[in-house]
Structure 1
């Protein structure tokens, strides 16, 4: 009877959290309950939302509101309040129906043997990158000291206190090497890495994991051109005299000054360019399309397609979130592979789709646990290789 009363209490707290009526004391009780974990699922009554999609949108809106209130601007996407992260993990993945799974038990460790999640948990990625200068010199940015790292012509290359890489042409540097105007630098991130760079023209770029950006030492030509492999979010400095171009996978994206995201990994079947502000023109082969905010251009073997999307989904990674909107498990695991520097046994993945979110500063075990909670699967992690086990198949063979 006590267990039933507890479950009713947790259902009540979940409902209050969603509608904003939860008190600070109840909020702490809710978070403490999550951190302690439960040994069975928590069922949230269907009356809390008219449908799964309504529930999902309501949940995500609530979490975003809490993030805006609780996290200082300079720290958003880096260090989330513990209770907000806990609530996101509890409520983040919505399975078919209205079941929110709250179990948080970490399975026994594996020392060469199969197990759901290793006791020596895999931590998330962070600010890691390599800068390769035009002269071939390489600088490991995550271990470099803050301050001026090198100079190129009249440009100082600076690692700021916040960990950003800045190419500052305002600094008057002396004793610098002569640099050819077409010399190219490269910023590259490994698996489990990300980095922010401010280019010589003031354009700000967020580079996602396992990506690289090639750019000139100075934008002296009539056009500003960079090459991208992987994923990046751009806030382009306006200069009507010099259009800005991003080239990737045979496509060209032209802008004057705007905010947009490009996802162009070699192991992804579709290249996606999503516009948040301004206007861009995407060209490939013999086709060009100019799009407006809220639109996404998809390039694949089937050609070019344009669709309307929620731009929040496209840039969630930049804001420190994995966000899934009817997303295939295979797509999710490619993101996991890049951010946690693990290998995936793709042959074992079932054809499943997910809705939900989880913070990118979560350990791998939390992400996998959420996916387990939302479906009849479990994960085995052995030597940083993740394999999916179908729970139903296991039951049949038992």
Structure 2
């Protein structure tokens, strides 16, 4: 969400930022809508001023015995009251039109974000780990899981349809173990505060983080007006909505393991088998609330925290800076962490870490107090630390053996009751 005043003062910079995202200029539209709103405000102020003055003149006219003048003034006051009521409704409509236009505009990329159209224009930052070698053709995770008899898509389809899975025995335990492993590291070592947030939220929360109104078709909505969270980013970031925190409280760092629900409306035909793209999955989310001067350093820190999970599991990965055409709606800069999947012989996203500047804070009205009287919008960041199902996918594919069994990474074994290998039951 943008400040119309800033757009008015920086129309070229605003349109240039949108152009980097491949969008048409919007400054003229926003300024025109704001001009209309400001014009109504001016008329209302003038009418209110005149109404106040006329009300005072009524008493003077009556005191002087000028009943005709008093009657005329009372008629004018009544007329001004009607005009003010009509004007207030006109102002509400003008503000709604302006806010609707602003709400549909994505955040502007930072200057160092590569300009591009899609994922082919993303830029490699670094790689870590050695890709495993196999003396057999590595399988994809769904073939491994089904071969183990512990990943069941057929039964899930009977229960819920496509893009769902039933995990059993050791794989079910691995889901829980991975989440606990991630949470322990993020809380004990990296200083994130663990939260169990609501999984159902209202419109305002979805609007605050940028899911609404633009991405409603990608969300699940209940009949009584709630939205199922697509990520814990929504709940965690909104913990500071409509509030003012002290500068000494920042940065705030939150983490949560939650189910996530996505309609995947735009994913027809993509990853129809397996755990990569499901309607329901779990994720450990990281959210930071910072001052403006902390936020870029916090992005690097958050990304390194997510990386550390993959390092301890021994899973090779790479970091990509997303180009302007591949970046999320609310982000100013994003690093994708992509893990190597031998079964697919390609890297796949397992985390996105983004800095959003004050974009979400404006939508949430989240501020911090810098000094006694200076109120400023906080900066927000979010990232996966990590997507649990995709981490399981990476373990299954990188740690598979020729007999169909899967080695459990050493760091995860204490969370699996010492189990070092998953075999067919």
Question: TM > 0.5 between the two?
Answer: no
> Which of these two proteins has the greater Rg computed from alpha carbons?
2
Return the structure number with greater strand share. Answer: 1
TM-score (norm 1): 0.28
The answer to which structure, 1 or 2, has the higher relative contact order (CA under 8 A, 6+ apart) is 2
Return the structure number with greater helix share. Answer: 2
TM-score (norm 2): 0.27
